[in-house]
A and B are shown apart, each in its own frame.
Chain A
Amino acid sequence: MREYVREIESLPKSHRIERLKKDMLAETRYVSMDQARIITRVYRETEGEPVNIRRAKSLAAALREMPIRIDPGELIVGNRTSGVRAGVVFPEGGISWVNKELETLPSRPQDRFEVHSEDIPYFRNELFPYWNGKTLEDAVNAEIGEQAALIARVVKINQKDHAQGHICPNVEKWLRMGPAGILEEIRAAAAKNGDSNRFFEGVALTLEGAMNFMGRYGKLALEMARENPNFADELRDISRICSALTTRPPEHFHEALQALWFLFVTLHMESNASSFSPGRMDQYLMPYFGRDIARGALDFPRALELIEALWLKFNQIVYLRSTSGARYFAGFPIGFNVALGGQNADGSDASNPLSFLFLKAQEHLELPQPNLSARLFEHSPEDLLNVCSRVIGCGSGMPQIFNDEAVIPALRGVGIAESDAWNYTIVGCVELTTSGNSLGWSDAAMFNLVKALELTLTGGIDLLDGSKSGLNLGTLENYGSFEELEEAFRKQIDHFINLMIPLCHAVDRIHGEIVQSPFLSSVIDNCIDAGVDVTNGGAQYNLSGIQAIQPANIADSLAALKTLVYDDRKVEASVLLNAIRDNFEGQEILRQRLLNKAAKYGNDVEWVDELGHKWVRHFAKRLKEFSNRRGGPYHTGLYTVSAHVPMGQNVGATPDGRHARTPLADGGISAVYGRDNSGPTALLRSVSRIDSALGSNGTLLNMKFSPQLFKTEEGIRKFSAMLRAFVRLKISHVQFNVFTEEDLRAAIEQPEKFRNLTVRVAGYTAYFTELAGDLQEEIIARTTYLEAL
């Protein structure tokens, strides 16, 4: 173990941070319409001006006018609302769902928010009437609503009601130049290229707004210093930092963290999008940290306290989703994804003291944000693996693990240059991106392969309501061989891909018309050079990701069909078809046969795993034939976040013995829970058969371990060894939940005692007690690898 690792491992918790954390969690979450009021006013004032200017002016006004607050004791300041964890109503994205659900937000099953009573009449009388018909959601609905509804059970088109997130801005540049420096760059570019479409004008307005915002915090801190003698010195420090950042880039570590936070607050104010990710913070912050340590201005305990202060901030911005959106992405994840470790451009290990300080901060705080991701590769040092394992064993579900050996080649495969691929990072939950130069559009749609299989078996008839929803290519009774069935499945998939792509295209275009993002464009490489907004193809990389869901259910269903119907002929095709039509009513013996008499994905059985792999391969290959509206490629993701529950509700009974409307396999490439009963090594080998190059948009594997494994150093070493094997097997991603069923049962019984309990839902962590009951049960049901007996 490196000397500094030993030192960081022994750092204690900070009382200040503990207090701030407690206060933050105690504060009631409210819906906030403050910014909506400002945006609406500015839009009324700017009728007839170009969209980018209206967007820029409304952001700049919000930055100047939003009520701000500093809590005494805070080391990093700033938020997009005066309350913490507020749900921001963002009219440009879409508010028709708010109109329907405003009164039920405090009582809905997932992600509840209180509503200020004065906001209800304001919303109904002013906000909604003004915006109705003008929002992104309205425009998308008007153009593609009907077509999207027709294919909705197979294809869920996303990004229909909010601006695009899942982006890693160029934080390194923001820290190097500061808003003032970038403003100079903008002015120079405008002088050189002209500004016929007023792109540079818009960007400049937002940068000036950001500088004003920082200055307001400087002023507030100074005022508060006078009134809070106990915190006067540190408030004056904060004031100095905030004021300085309006004119120059940060020079010290504390300044850099504060500057970074202002960047992310401003990005969220502009877009209200899900997930802007800081990316490889341990890399670009290292110069600031190293300089301060070298000159004696910073030590490890102080650095950790500052990092933890920022970590608290990452938990203060949450995302208000509709009731159905909250079902797909439960626990209001906002996705401040921080990557640590990994490698340098020359292939050497990149872990440094900051990587370990981040892990220590996670261990101390055990909060859902940041979404901490550790990058591992062949030469990752033993101490990094062991500390990751130990922190995973603490049970907060973090860090999740990414594998350079799988991810870098996968990104190269979708046209990412070598010089960018090694520097990849993660946005949102598990989505892969380059740093600071990409609009990855990672969740353009989710494609439910399992529903496509259902329609293949039924002649295009939806099992849930009998409607005609897909191609009629025959039914299970007519296919003379397994190969014929597979051929029909292929046609069914292709049919829906062909219907899906134009709709994704349209949504992408409408974003470019309605939610241009001038501020974001200033921190995504190439936008300024090209003079083009990021939503209109300004970024260096322009991808679109579509998720293929869910290979485990496909493999299990096809394996059962192949074994029992076609190979062994133990089950009549017509009997099976009737059984799934009847949701196995009165057919429990048949259902048990399907469950127990055919091999299942996740048990290291090559031919079954191949049945999942094969269809992922087909899907990814077909997708690659299309280009998106911004000129970049479509590529495939293999993750569902928590969407395996609602997507399962769209699917009738399946030939793997699954009942209608029950969840699909969790994660993305996990086995169906309870069916991988050959242990974690067999599961990992099965998963490794799905070529990670196919999941270049991101993959998700959930594993759950009992806490006993982490109780001894030997256990931790063995867990690290398993991670080492995971790297060698070239699987892109894995994440771990660590707890006992009793822990979770107790948390359901007495939620008040377990407010702090965080669990890995999917690619993110949420408070267990804040999840809806069915999702809680689902998490309990996932396979646990108990201590080997």
Chain B
Amino acid sequence: MIFGTIFDVKRFALHDGDGLRTTLFLKGCPLHCPWCQNPEGISPKIHLCWTPSRCIHCGICVSVCPLGALSRKEPQLDIRIDFRKCDNNGLCVEECPSAALSFDGRRVSAEEIAGEILRDRDFFDVSEGGVTLSGGEPLMQPSFAAEVLRICRENGVHTAVETTVSVPRSAIDAVIDYVDLFLVDHKFADPESHKNILGADRKPIRRNLEYLLSRDARVRIRIALIPEYTATEDNLRGLGDYIRSLEPVQPSVELLNFNPMAENKYRLFGQSWPISRDAGRFSPEEIDYFADVLRKTGVERVAT
């Protein structure tokens, strides 16, 4: 049995590929995009987390922890977790009556989670939907990802992987035979920005993308429009120039609107959100404008 670490399963996912889908979120990511929508997916490790809005401040967790990893901070009796002491034994999670304490991920076997995904086959069948592996970076756990995809594919379910391809070639080789569609995030044209902002070189990523195309994989490039970061004319023009040059088949491109809802998650994890507070979603006109910038560089298929 192959186990992996996931942090969420979202059924009725509408934005991670075609049709109605179930998206499986795998933990761990080599990049550190400052606007990350799923910050709990960056670390490959599982952490205890505390949801203030669910807490009834009963203090049971503090008393059941044999390691003294939990304490209460006056005056609101907020729970503090000492991660140096916490060993993820789960006693507090089990005893917490209001589900305010939980783990931000779980270990599952590929068989088990594939079974969960297959529950919605009726919905996949009628919508030409399927499963999407996302994260984090799903290809950080290549054997687990491959096994989940293999089982789904074997059961007639369409498979997609949402990836930055910032992974060793072997990880791509592990899954490529089981993937119907690669949704590849590409964020920066400029190698400096790529390195400085995301914390990874651009070069291996582009090589992997070209490798996928050379293997006749179906690829859709996805560009998340982040105010002040990726959503600039220069950046989109640069990405367009690159995409236009790809062969043998120029991949299609999907622009993803900025989603300010992620701020809530940062608050939940006690972190601050790096995007300016008044940045909202782009209007349809602005999205059209960005799409036009790409089209003018010669990108043929741009979806918004």
Q: Tell me the nearest residue of chain A to B128, going by C-beta.
A: A721
Whether B119 and A679, one on each chain, are in contact in the complex, defined by CB atoms closer than 8 angstroms, is no
Whether B20 and A597, one on each chain, are in contact in the complex, defined by CB atoms closer than 8 angstroms, is no
Contacts of A729 in B (CB 8 A): 122
Q: A715-B14, A728-B126, A788-B12 are contacts. A596–B98 as well, Cβ < 8 Å?
A: yes
A709 at the interface (CB under 8 A from B): yes
Whether A679 and B126, one on each chain, are in contact in the complex, defined by CB atoms closer than 8 angstroms, is no
Q: A685-B119, A785-B12, A788-B12 are contacts. A724–B126 as well, Cβ < 8 Å?
A: yes
Whether A680 and B12, one on each chain, are in contact in the complex, defined by CB atoms closer than 8 angstroms, is yes
A228 at the interface (CB under 8 A from B): no
Q: A-B pairs with the 4 shortest C-beta distances? A: A721-B127, A592-B97, A724-B126, A592-B98
Q: A589-B97, A592-B56, A596-B99 are contacts. A722–B123 as well, Cβ < 8 Å?
A: yes
Whether B126 and A589, one on each chain, are in contact in the complex, defined by CB atoms closer than 8 angstroms, is no
A618 shortest CB reach to chain B, Å: 27
Whether A681 and B12, one on each chain, are in contact in the complex, defined by CB atoms closer than 8 angstroms, is yes
Q: A681-B12, A788-B14 are contacts. A722–B97 as well, Cβ < 8 Å?
A: no
Interface of B is mostly: loop
A679 shortest CB reach to chain B, Å: 4
The CA-CA distance from A589 to B57 in the complex, in Å, is 10
Interface string of A667-710 (1 = CB under 8 A from B): 00000000000111110010000000000000000000000010
Q: A597-B97, A718-B14 are contacts. A681–B123 as well, Cβ < 8 Å?
A: yes
Contacts of A604 in B (CB 8 A): 119
**7 pairs across A/B with beta carbons < 8 Å?**
A592-B98, A597-B97, A709-B14, A721-B20, A721-B129, A724-B126, A788-B15
Whether B11 and A679, one on each chain, are in contact in the complex, defined by CB atoms closer than 8 angstroms, is yes
Contacts of A589 in B (CB 8 A): 56, 58, 60, 97
The CA-CA distance from A696 to B98 in the complex, in Å, is 39
Q: Tell me the nearest residue of chain B to A717, going by C-beta.
A: B127
Which of A597, A718, A789 contacts B19, CB < 8 Å?
Answer: A718
Contacts of B20 in A (CB 8 A): 681, 718, 721-722, 725
Q: Tell me the nearest residue of chain B to A788, going by C-beta.
A: B14
Contacts of A509 in B (CB 8 A): none
B225 shortest CB reach to chain A, Å: 16
Q: List B1-26 residues whose CB lies under 8 Å from chain A.
A: 10-15, 19-20, 22
Q: A589-B60, A724-B126 are contacts. A678–B11 as well, Cβ < 8 Å?
A: yes
Which of A592, A679, A724 contacts B127, CB < 8 Å?
Answer: A724
Whether A681 and B120, one on each chain, are in contact in the complex, defined by CB atoms closer than 8 angstroms, is yes
A588 at the interface (CB under 8 A from B): yes
Whether B122 and A725, one on each chain, are in contact in the complex, defined by CB atoms closer than 8 angstroms, is yes
Q: A592-B97, A681-B12 are contacts. A725–B259 as well, Cβ < 8 Å?
A: no
The CA-CA distance from A789 to B125 in the complex, in Å, is 22
Contacts of B99 in A (CB 8 A): 596
A787 at the interface (CB under 8 A from B): yes
A614 at the interface (CB under 8 A from B): no
Interface residues of B (CB under 8 A from A): 10-15, 19-20, 22, 37, 56, 58, 60, 97-99, 119-120, 122-123, 125-127, 129, 259, 261
A69 at the interface (CB under 8 A from B): no
Q: A592-B56, A592-B97, A681-B12 are contacts. A789–B259 as well, Cβ < 8 Å?
A: yes
Q: List A731-789 residues whose CB lies under 8 Å from chain B.
A: 785, 787-789
A593 at the interface (CB under 8 A from B): yes
A589 shortest CB reach to chain B, Å: 5
The CA-CA distance from A729 to B14 in the complex, in Å, is 20
Q: A679-B12, A718-B14, A718-B20 are contacts. A725–B58 as well, Cβ < 8 Å?
A: no
The CA-CA distance from A340 to B233 in the complex, in Å, is 50
Whether B12 and A721, one on each chain, are in contact in the complex, defined by CB atoms closer than 8 angstroms, is no
Q: A589-B56, A589-B58 are contacts. A596–B97 as well, Cβ < 8 Å?
A: yes
Contacts of B125 in A (CB 8 A): 725, 728
The CA-CA distance from A685 to B122 in the complex, in Å, is 10
The CA-CA distance from A721 to B18 in the complex, in Å, is 12
Contacts of A785 in B (CB 8 A): 12
The CA-CA distance from A724 to B99 in the complex, in Å, is 35
Q: List A567-606 residues whose CB lies under 8 Å from chain B.
A: 588-590, 592-593, 595-597, 604
A594 shortest CB reach to chain B, Å: 9
Contacts of B119 in A (CB 8 A): 604, 681-682, 685
The CA-CA distance from A456 to B216 in the complex, in Å, is 65
The CA-CA distance from A717 to B129 in the complex, in Å, is 12
Q: A592-B97, A596-B99, A788-B10 are contacts. A721–B58 as well, Cβ < 8 Å?
A: no
Whether A679 and B14, one on each chain, are in contact in the complex, defined by CB atoms closer than 8 angstroms, is no
The CA-CA distance from A596 to B20 in the complex, in Å, is 29
Q: Tell me the nearest residue of chain B to A590, going by C-beta.
A: B97
Contacts of B13 in A (CB 8 A): 788
Contacts of B22 in A (CB 8 A): 681
The CA-CA distance from A681 to B11 in the complex, in Å, is 7
The CA-CA distance from A678 to B8 in the complex, in Å, is 11
The CA-CA distance from A724 to B124 in the complex, in Å, is 11
Q: Tell me the nearest residue of chain A to B126, going by C-beta.
A: A724
The CA-CA distance from A95 to B98 in the complex, in Å, is 50
Q: Tell me the nearest residue of chain B to A688, going by C-beta.
A: B122
The CA-CA distance from A589 to B259 in the complex, in Å, is 36
A127 shortest CB reach to chain B, Å: 56
The CA-CA distance from A717 to B58 in the complex, in Å, is 47
The CA-CA distance from A709 to B20 in the complex, in Å, is 12
The CA-CA distance from A717 to B12 in the complex, in Å, is 13
A590 shortest CB reach to chain B, Å: 8
A723 shortest CB reach to chain B, Å: 9
B37 shortest CB reach to chain A, Å: 8
The CA-CA distance from A588 to B261 in the complex, in Å, is 31
The CA-CA distance from A18 to B261 in the complex, in Å, is 39
The CA-CA distance from A384 to B121 in the complex, in Å, is 23
The CA-CA distance from A588 to B37 in the complex, in Å, is 34
Contacts of A724 in B (CB 8 A): 126-127
Contacts of B123 in A (CB 8 A): 681, 721-722, 725
The CA-CA distance from A728 to B121 in the complex, in Å, is 11
The CA-CA distance from A592 to B54 in the complex, in Å, is 10
The CA-CA distance from A789 to B10 in the complex, in Å, is 9
Contacts of B122 in A (CB 8 A): 725, 728-729
The CA-CA distance from A709 to B13 in the complex, in Å, is 11
Whether A682 and B60, one on each chain, are in contact in the complex, defined by CB atoms closer than 8 angstroms, is no
A129 shortest CB reach to chain B, Å: 59
Whether A721 and B10, one on each chain, are in contact in the complex, defined by CB atoms closer than 8 angstroms, is no
Q: Tell me the nearest residue of chain A to B120, going by C-beta.
A: A681
The CA-CA distance from A49 to B12 in the complex, in Å, is 65
Q: Tell me the nearest residue of chain B to A728, going by C-beta.
A: B122
Q: Tell me the nearest residue of chain A to B284, going by C-beta.
A: A711
The CA-CA distance from A724 to B56 in the complex, in Å, is 42
Contacts of B19 in A (CB 8 A): 718, 721
A373 shortest CB reach to chain B, Å: 21
The CA-CA distance from A724 to B20 in the complex, in Å, is 12
B63 shortest CB reach to chain A, Å: 12
The CA-CA distance from A728 to B125 in the complex, in Å, is 10
The CA-CA distance from A728 to B126 in the complex, in Å, is 9
Q: List A83-115 residues whose CB lies under 8 Å from chain B.
A: none
A600 shortest CB reach to chain B, Å: 12
Contacts of B12 in A (CB 8 A): 679-681, 722, 785, 788
Q: Tell me the nearest residue of chain B to A588, going by C-beta.
A: B56
Whether B97 and A679, one on each chain, are in contact in the complex, defined by CB atoms closer than 8 angstroms, is no
Determine which residue in A718, A722, A785, A787 has the highest number of CB atoms from chain B within 10 A of its CB, and name it.
A718
Contacts of B60 in A (CB 8 A): 589
Contacts of A725 in B (CB 8 A): 20, 122-123, 125-127
Q: A596-B97, A721-B19 are contacts. A682–B14 as well, Cβ < 8 Å?
A: no
The CA-CA distance from A785 to B20 in the complex, in Å, is 14
The CA-CA distance from A679 to B126 in the complex, in Å, is 17
The CA-CA distance from A588 to B56 in the complex, in Å, is 9
The CA-CA distance from A553 to B226 in the complex, in Å, is 44
